[in-house]
Amino acid sequence: MVVAEHSRTETFAMAEVHSPLQLSPATERLKGSPCERILLLACGALAREIIELKRINNWVHLDLHCLPAKLHLFPNQIPDAVEASVLKFRQHYDKIFVVYADCGTGGLLQDRCRKLGVEMIAGPHCYAFYEGLESFDSHQESELTSFYLTDFLVRQFEAFVIKPLGLDRFPELRDTYFGNYEKVVYLAQKDDAELEQEARRCAQFLGLEYERRVTGYGDLERVLSRLEP
């Protein structure tokens, strides 16, 4: 089974969290320049991908602050956590962009962002913007019985699926939770043979058919690329 890396994820997801009193090297370079200073306030589940996008695109004008990925287990807490971070960092940046989709908040996060005057990424969740909203919407009716995975969830399947649902202690609950699903759809950000092998194990563990789509970073990269300095 997939080895849990929950504590490592917590550490990684907070890597590049910058105190307003000790700005990042990128921000320091922008001080005194006409460039906008932009903070990406993101879900920790997206940390690895955003850091990689920053690297390959040389987005030195973007700083990153990630909230713990485990907030996905408690979506009602996301709006308050986002607001607290916006208020904490707002005076130190020209713009804050929230890199969360709705993520199970039932529209509450969008309402909160509107009140705070900050933008957020569009879509119901990261599965949609990784694949691209138009493509994702086009086959939603035919995939109502699909369980989606991303690179993050493949790596953290035990920490974010097995343990929270108690399947490590009560494996007989698997069919109670997943009996109405038919397949696992793995939306892969990278064409990685080891991750695919792990994703297949996840599907096997759930007793579901398996399908993989290599989506890359989808709308995530397109949206962030528009945040010009």
pTM of the model: 0.83
User: Backbone phi, then psi, for 174, in 5-degree steps?
Assistant: -55, -50
pLDDT at 113 over 70: yes
Mean pLDDT of 104-122: 96
pLDDT averaged over the chain? Answer: 87
Mean pLDDT of 126-134: 91
110 shares a domain with 158: no
105 shares a domain with 169: no
52 shares a domain with 107: yes
What is the structure's pLDDT at 170?
97
| pLDDT tens digits for range 181-218 | 999 999 999 999 999 999 999 999 999 999 999 999 99
Query: Taking CA 157 as the corner, what is the angle to CA 200 and CA 153, rounded to the nearest 5 degrees?
Result: 85
Taking the C-alpha atoms of residue 204 and residue 149, their distance in angstroms, rounded to an integer, is 13
Instruction: Quote the domain boundaries for residue 104.
Output: 6-124+218-225
1 assigned to some structural domain: no
Q: What is the DSSP letter of 59?
A: -
Taking the C-alpha atoms of residue 211 and residue 193, their distance in angstroms, rounded to an integer, is 14
Q: Which two tokens stand for residue 103?
A: 């993520």
46 shares a domain with 95: yes
198 shares a domain with 113: no
Q: Which two tokens stand for residue 208?
A: 């579901």
CATH code of residue 91: 3.40.50
Give the other-Cβ count within 10 Å of 63's Cβ: 25
Mean pLDDT of 84-90: 97
202 shares a domain with 108: no
Q: Provide the pLDDT confidence category of residue 19 given band limits of 50, 70 and 90.
A: very low
138 shares a domain with 115: no
